[in-house]
Amino acid sequence: MAREKPTMDYSALIRSLRQEGPQRVYLLYGDEDYLRDSYLQELKKLCVDADTEAFNYHRLPGAPFDAGALRESVEAMPFMGERTFTEVRDLDINRLNAADADALKAILADVPEWATLAFVLSPGYSPDKRLATVKAVKKAAVDVEFLYPGASELRSWVIRRAKSLDKDLDGPTADYLIWVCGDKMNGLIPEITKIAGYAKGTAITRADIDAVAKKTPETTIFNLTDALGAGQYDKAARLMSDLLADRDEPPQKQIGMISEQFRRLYFARLAADSGKGEAFITACVPELTGRGYPLRLLRQAARNFSQDRLARAVSFCAACDYAMKDTGGEPEALLKELLVHLALDRA
């Protein structure tokens, strides 16, 4: 079962940074790289300004690790300003050899009061908290993992982003845009720009989003299962074709997402049949907690299926997944065969 997606309060994080001022060491990582880079720029502005950046800002690569260059940068006195700022990108702190780890620990133990040192890690990289080197960095640093913002904060940001492009966007339409395009902010930026450029009126509409937005695989899969529930089998076939044409997501991952969607639908149908509400669904599908719009869509879509049909759909998906992983079946052909089974099972 999927876990509830953790979120962060970015506004509170920025308020804390401005109130407390820059500290000596930061460890910045996590999947939401837009927020990570925004925080990094805010931190940098607190340390150096346009007039002193050329003297007091240093950016070093993390690979290969150069302890001498890092120490020199950190210990350099500020010139024409009060602080220095050193940014180290993509240091693999999980795999430092013993000598480099000792050198790094020594630097962290003696960062001058005028210096700020920020280790910036790419999305997908997770510091291994069990390692002594990582423990030393975390102990010395302000440790910030950049998670996805909460639903209300993300909605407000999307509305502000559209407003900056001279387009109005109401809350429900913003929720729909996020559902269609995903909740990763760097992915939303070009989509909002494209949609705003297409929209003819002063306000962005759902029709504008449908016309030009690039849908996430999850959205396509939701629409595919919804088409099956509504008996729209030609539409389901077109959506499966769109899914197979998406080379960013291999069929082995797509079958997992289809399986997960049917499991969600099963729990929503079970909740409806047993008189249980949203709390039951989110207990079974924690990642939907606080996400009112997709939760409402799920409950509506589940009405078109019986419990038994959804249980069989989950079994069909499991068989397809097994065939892909354990029998060496051709993945695309297996997904097409799965669609036939799902379409024929209408009871």
Q: What is the pLDDT of residues 131-142, one digit of tens each?
A: 999 999 999 999
**Is residue 232, in this structure, part of any structural domain at all?**
yes
Q: What is the CATH number of the domain that holds 20?
A: 3.40.50.300
Query: Residue 329 burial (CB < 10 Å; 0-12/13-18/19+)?
Result: middle
In this predicted structure, what is the pLDDT of residue 197?
96
- Statement to judge: residues 226 and 245 lie in one domain: yes
Q: What is the pLDDT of residues 213-250, one digit of tens each?
A: 999 999 999 999 999 999 999 999 999 999 999 888 88
**Between these two residues, 330 and 3, which has the higher pLDDT value?**
330
- Statement to judge: residues 230 and 258 lie in one domain: yes
- pLDDT above 70: residue 296: yes
Q: What is the pLDDT of residues 243-258, one digit of tens each?
A: 999 888 889 999 999 9
Strand residue runs (E) in the chain: 7-8, 25-29, 57-61, 84-89, 115-120, 142-145, 148-149
User: pLDDT band at residue 289, thresholds of 50, 70 and 90?
Assistant: confident
In this predicted structure, what is the pLDDT of residue 246?
84
Q: What is the pLDDT of residues 31-49, one digit of tens each?
A: 899 999 999 999 999 999 9
Domain total in the chain:
3
The two tokens of residue 124 are: 């997908």
Percent of the chain with pLDDT over 70: 98
- Sign of torsion over alpha carbons 253, 254, 258, 259: negative
- Sign of torsion over alpha carbons 286, 288, 291, 292: negative
DSSP 145: E
- Statement to judge: residues 18 and 58 lie in one domain: yes
In this predicted structure, what is the pLDDT of residue 319?
94
Helix (H), strand (E) at residue 232: none
Chain centroid to Cα 315, Å, comes to 29
Verdict on whether the full-model pTM lies above 0.95: no
- pLDDT above 50: residue 310: yes
Structural domain ending residue among the three candidates 183, 212, 241? 212
- Does residue 122 contact residue 12 with C-beta atoms inside 8 Å? no
- Statement to judge: residues 200 and 229 lie in one domain: no
H-only helix segments in 98-147: 98-108, 132-140
Percent of the chain with pLDDT over 90: 84
- pLDDT above 70: residue 146: yes
Orientation of helix 171-181 relative to helix 185-198, angle to 10°:
120
**Is residue 290, in this structure, part of any structural domain at all?**
yes
User: pLDDT band at residue 162, thresholds of 50, 70 and 90?
Assistant: very high
- Between CA 75 and CA 60 the distance in angstroms is 14
Strand residue runs (E) in 69-174: 84-89, 115-120, 142-145, 148-149
In this predicted structure, what is the pLDDT of residue 3?
44
User: pLDDT band at residue 287, thresholds of 50, 70 and 90?
Assistant: confident
- Statement to judge: residues 180 and 249 lie in one domain: no
For the chain, what is the radius of gyration of the CA atoms? 25
- pLDDT above 60: residue 130: yes
The two tokens of residue 42 are: 């805010």
In this predicted structure, what is the pLDDT of residue 7?
76
In this predicted structure, what is the pLDDT of residue 1?
36
Mean of the per-residue pLDDT values for the chain? Answer: 93
- Between CA 177 and CA 205 the distance in angstroms is 9
For residue 191, which of 162, 171, 218 has the smallest C-alpha distance?
A: 162
- Statement to judge: residues 11 and 123 lie in one domain: yes
- pLDDT above 60: residue 278: yes
In this predicted structure, what is the pLDDT of residue 2?
42
**Is residue 255, in this structure, part of any structural domain at all?**
yes
Range of the domain at 308: 217-344
- Does residue 92 contact residue 120 with C-beta atoms inside 8 Å? no
- Long-range pairs, 124-129, Cβ under 8 A, ≥24: 124/31, 125/29, 125/90, 125/92, 126/29, 127/27, 127/29, 127/93, 127/94, 128/94
- Statement to judge: residues 11 and 145 lie in one domain: yes
- Statement to judge: residues 283 and 305 lie in one domain: yes
Side chain identity, residue 249: E
- pLDDT above 80: residue 120: yes
User: pLDDT band at residue 5, thresholds of 50, 70 and 90?
Assistant: low
- Statement to judge: residues 223 and 279 lie in one domain: yes
Mean pLDDT of 76-98: 95
Q: 158 by DSSP, 3-state: which?
A: helix
- Statement to judge: residues 206 and 247 lie in one domain: no
Of 5-14, 178-187, 327-336, which has the strongest mean pLDDT? Answer: 178-187
Phi, psi dihedrals of residue 281, rounded to the nearest 5°: -65, -45
In this predicted structure, what is the pLDDT of residue 286?
86
